Amino acid sequence: MMSLSHKSLRHRTLTLLLGTAIASLTALTVAQPALAGVGFSILVDGEHVAGDPVPGDAVRRTDVDLARAEIQVTYDGLVSTPRLAVGPTHGLRRVELGASIPFRIEANYWRWIERAEIRILDQSMNQVLAVVPVEGDRASWALPNLDNATYYYVARVYDRNGRFDETVPQEIYAGTETGKSVGLQALWEQDQTASRAISVHGGSVTVHGKAMRPGSTAYVLGEAVEVDANGAFVIQRILPSGDHAVDVTVEGADGKSVAFNRDINIPDSEWFYVGMADLTLGTRWGDGKVVDAKPEEFDAIYSKGRAAFYLRGKIRGDVLLTAAGDTGEGPLSEMFSGVLSKDPQALLRRIDPSQYYPVYGDDSVMVDDAPTSGKLYVRLERGNNHVLWGNFRTEIGNGTMLRSQRSLYGASLHVETDGAVANGAPQAEATLYAAQPRTLPAQDTLRGTGGSAYVLRRQDLVPGSEIISVETRNGVTGLVTDTRRLRAGVDYTINYMQGLVILAQPLSGTIHSSGAVSSSEPDIVDLVVQYEFQPAGTDTREYAYGGSASSWIGENLRVGVVGMSETNSKADEVTVVGVNARLQADEKTFIEGEVLRSEGQGQGGWLSTDGGFTYVQQPRVNAAGGAYAYRATAQADLGSLLDASFDLVAGVTLEQRQAGFSTLESQVLTDTLSATAYASLGLGEAGRFDLKANHTENATGALRTEVSAELGYVLDEDWTVSVGVLHRNTFRPGGTDENNGNRTDVGARVSYSALEDVTLYGFGQATINHSAGYQRNDRVGAGLEWSIGDGWSIGVEGSAGTTGPQANAMLSHADSAGNRSYLGLRMSPDIADSFLLRSTPANGVVTGTERRISDVAKVNAENIYDVFGAKHSLTGLYGITVTPDSRWTVTATYETGSITDPNASDFSRHAVSGGLAYSHEGIEWSGRGEGRFEESSDHTRDRTTLLGQSGLSVKVDDNWRMLGGASMLLSQSNQNTILDGDYVEVSLGAAYRPVDNDRFNALIRYNYLYDLPGPDQVSVGGTTLGPAQRSHIFSVDANYDLTPQLTVGVKYGLRVGEVSDSRAVDDFAASTVHLGILRADLEVFEDWRLLLEGRGLLHAQTEVLDLGALAMISYDISDTVRLGLGYNFGQFSDDLRRVRYDDHGLFLNFAARF
């Protein structure tokens, strides 16, 4: 008998790796002296138990101790994605007056952060009220004693060079605490970064813990980590390359603690790569069905193959290389040709696994960090500098008049200095790009309809090429005042083949300003969709290149240049070059200018006011000669420039565009001048005076001017007053008195709140001057607001004026979640514009912003909506969300209004939508529906549109997954059924993937598609009024391991395709194909395998059945290389999308992976 350190190890198996030999020792008992001096040692869990004496494995012992404490330390040298988030530690968004708000910043890259601060902004988010320094990760700010005030906060963190990252603004409210608190999601899970400039590199370290005792506290890397109610905690930090000691300490409520120290190394150089190669040589014998389409298309001897790889590696600690390549399967002679060329459909095949089965049952998530529309992707990056070949989006220039935004495939370069100026911008930076897209750009502008479904003008878009944003334009000048980029999968979904965009939230078409005096021209809200498409039958030889560069001269002056040029085979060409500069004292005091010159004409955009069912092309400029555009902006924070004893910010913007000026997104037909001016003066803590002016005119003589002034002041704790005046002047050549004229209105409001829980107010407005054709708009009224308690209040208001009586009643509520709004009924005269304080009057239900009525119901209102009025001249949106419990959520919205369309007849719209969602114990279901009803006086724009969406995800158990989805868009015109547009898609899938064994696996899929393109939608073939199509595809795949050596599989597929060339008649012609496959995979000997497969293909209409078989024997030369020889007895493939008869013959296959 032998012993191990005079102790026995019984019923234990030790596996010893000695070179390439593996020895298994079961129930081994060895004498310690017998193993001494033989050149190896035995360690168990880091402890030396036999053999030559060696130091114990401290890392292994630490891992064992951590595992016993249910703590896990993991690290990845190739993952260094920074995250930044901030929030109040108490989780409330409404805080009592005078209280201090404790903030906490969560960041996973503190090693790069030199300092941090919380910036408090006013309700307009234009003024910084306070800058609070952060100590550690905490900060505190004392709330001013102003009831019902709204503030925004952001976190800003700086590196040693002065660059900073900043989070998105978040709201916080001042007022009496009511209702339940709103807990924040764990900050470590969030990334709230709005802008990022700090360069981070290294690797990530993640520490998980669970089953901690109640009251325990964890410390990781010297930081305190919150332990949740279940006794779990998690923390992730990015560390630079090198050796690090990860300290983990857990302190119990009784004061006892346990500490661990885990040594790790983040390597300077680390690589991950995978690749495969497949080569097939064979003979092909066709039959009478094969007719050569071109010489040598069906050669007797053929060769085809595919090569693909993915590589990601780190060089010298801070240089990251990402590369990927995929030749695709094809003839060997063409495999490596066109490596730098673009295939517009390549990205879809690579990133959309649901094109095969909706669910695979393994809970995997696909991430593509090498997006490319061609065969190659290479990206070399260091910090914020990079050079790449692949897919990229153009973002050039520092101005506002040129926005070159396209999704291209080609070369891109961005470089910037490590040094930064005081505002965090790099001292100098440059961006260049060049591409031969083989696609054309398009821009569709769709006026908000109050709904979520928008049909693009073209079908078969290039996947991933879309840039979708919501633009708000000033109602007077037409200038873009706000642009919000939407996120794919979060804010919208898109069907590239059908050209359909569905927003996550309905989009209203107008926004009315509020205040003592409201603008009589509402701002316009558009959905702007830029995308790429490939015209059918056209070899688009397009070239696109451009770039920008800028540099700071000192801390106050920035100069820059910008340019872009695009040409294509359709003779469309546009070139824009320009310069820009900015001279600043600080962020609020600056002068900036921009000069651009364009030559040629762009593609020209298309406008739709009915959700995309009809389009009108916007006029294009004359391509002869060139044209200029100029912009100058000046703003001054006069208070800070002088003695800082007062708060005054003023600014002005002038913009002139010559006729013929053209960019990718705009065309200027006539000389146009636009100007805006503003001033905002703070009158201590009690008042503010705002002055605004907007003016636009063009060479035809048309002009619009609007000037407004408003003063609000808190006289004392009981009295508040606000007054305003607005003057408007409009002239259109050839217009009537109703269109040409001017009017001046004044308004005032006085509030008295000395009574407990009751506020009385009175208001009045009058037209003090107007030209013929403008109706007077005099009005006087009064009301009260009564705070019932618990955040609930009632408001009643009545008034009389030249346009008739008005009355409204409102039920209001405010709670700790920060929800403030009102809900009520309003009866008012139908007028074109109004200057009441509260809001623009409308007939029907009136709502404000977002409000939580109770713990289960929340109302969301965007603008107002009219129910009883005759003209319906105002648009608005009303929404409600009900969450009766943690499982169910119910939403509803309604919009109504009139749409003025300069290109066609005006029409009115009513839109209603509702949604229902359920989530509980592995079941997630959501459904939503919308109805949009449009009418015009001449009935040419009458249309009814219905939208439905539903999604279902079921985790039956650990083995079964089910997924389903449905989308429906039906649009009916009363003119003719040929003008209808319908789209229906249903997808169902199921997967059986056992977790305890891999013997049986099954995938099931069903898809239904019906598509009737809109009358103006351009099909893949470049035509409109395309044919109606519908199809069913069903398939099932299953494998079963009969023995460890034998696996059998079955596949069944059904495709039913129908096409109707007549859009008005149900005359579909069907084509039905059935496919069945049986296969067996047998391991005959070690490294030798035999594959047998039988196939059957049935054409239902012709009743023709094709049978075939395939056999292949293969030999595994190594773990990564396989050689096979086979014979295909059949004459067709198993791809239902491509039924061919040329696969009969002998073949040799070589496959390798690494």
User: Does residue 890 sit within a domain?
Assistant: no
Cα–Cα distance for residue pair 175/623, rounded to 1 Å: 59
User: Does residue 757 sit within a domain?
Assistant: no
Cα–Cα distance for residue pair 1108/1133, rounded to 1 Å: 10
pLDDT (0 to 100) of residue 217: 84
Domain C-terminal end among 266, 298, 332: 266
User: Is residue 359 scored above 60 in pLDDT?
Assistant: no
pLDDT (0 to 100) of residue 291: 46
Give the rounded percent of residues in the chain with a pLDDT score beyond 90.
15
**Alpha-helical regions (H) of 729-881:** none
Cα–Cα distance for residue pair 322/927, rounded to 1 Å: 40
Across 8-17, 244-253, 771-780, 899-908, the highest mean pLDDT is recorded for 244-253
In this structure, are strands 888-899 and 1104-1116 parallel, antiparallel, or unpaired? unpaired
pLDDT (0 to 100) of residue 879: 56
Here the tokens at position 423 are 């505002």
User: Is residue 602 scored above 80 in pLDDT?
Assistant: no
- On the CB side of 412, CA atoms within 13 Å amount to 22
Cα 13 to Cα 18, 45, 995, 1010, distances in angstroms? 16, 14, 26, 62
In this structure, are strands 170-174 and 94-95 parallel, antiparallel, or unpaired? parallel
Q: Are residues 193 and 138 part of one domain?
A: yes
Q: 727 versus 870: which is more confidently predicted?
A: 727
Domain C-terminal end among 239, 266, 293: 266
User: Does residue 26 sit within a domain?
Assistant: yes
Q: Are residues 94 and 49 part of one domain?
A: no
Here the tokens at position 270 are 């680390």
User: Does residue 871 sit within a domain?
Assistant: no
Here the tokens at position 202 are 């290294």
pLDDT (0 to 100) of residue 386: 92
Q: Are residues 152 and 104 part of one domain?
A: yes
Q: Are residues 219 and 95 part of one domain?
A: yes
Cα 1075 to Cα 789, 1099, 1112, distances in angstroms? 69, 9, 21
Cα dihedral 476, 479, 482, 483 in deg (nearest 10): 140
pLDDT (0 to 100) of residue 250: 86
Give how many domains the chain has, as a whole number.
4
pLDDT (0 to 100) of residue 650: 92
Q: Are residues 191 and 48 part of one domain?
A: no
Phi, psi of 1078 (to 5 degrees): -120, 135
Q: 1115 versus 1070: which is more confidently predicted?
A: 1115
User: Does residue 156 sit within a domain?
Assistant: yes
Here the tokens at position 1146 are 């002998």
Q: Are residues 17 and 154 part of one domain?
A: no
Q: Are residues 248 and 111 part of one domain?
A: yes
Domain C-terminal end among 245, 266, 287: 266
Cα dihedral 52, 57, 60, 62 in deg (nearest 10): 140
Average pLDDT over residues 370-399: 84
Cα–Cα distance for residue pair 7/21, rounded to 1 Å: 27
**Nearest one of 460, 406, 478 to 435, comparing CA atoms:** 406
**Nearest one of 496, 222, 486, 453 to 932, comparing CA atoms:** 453
Burial level of 382, CB count in 10 A (0-12/13-18/19+)?
A: middle
Range of the domain at 1074: 1040-1154
Burial level of 776, CB count in 10 A (0-12/13-18/19+)?
A: middle
User: Does residue 99 sit within a domain?
Assistant: yes
Q: Are residues 1134 and 1080 part of one domain?
A: yes
pLDDT (0 to 100) of residue 842: 39
User: Does residue 568 sit within a domain?
Assistant: no
Cα–Cα distance for residue pair 1010/548, rounded to 1 Å: 46
CATH number at residue 97: 2.60.40.1220
Q: 946 versus 299: which is more confidently predicted?
A: 946
Q: Are residues 136 and 224 part of one domain?
A: yes
Q: Are residues 107 and 31 part of one domain?
A: no
Q: Are residues 168 and 253 part of one domain?
A: yes
CATH number at residue 1153: 2.40.160.40
Task: State in Å, rounded, how far the first CA of the chain is from the last one.
Answer: 46
Q: Are residues 34 and 159 part of one domain?
A: no
pLDDT (0 to 100) of residue 838: 28
pLDDT digits (tens, 9 = 90+) for 609-660: 777 767 787 777 776 678 899 999 999 988 777 766 678 889 999 999 998 8
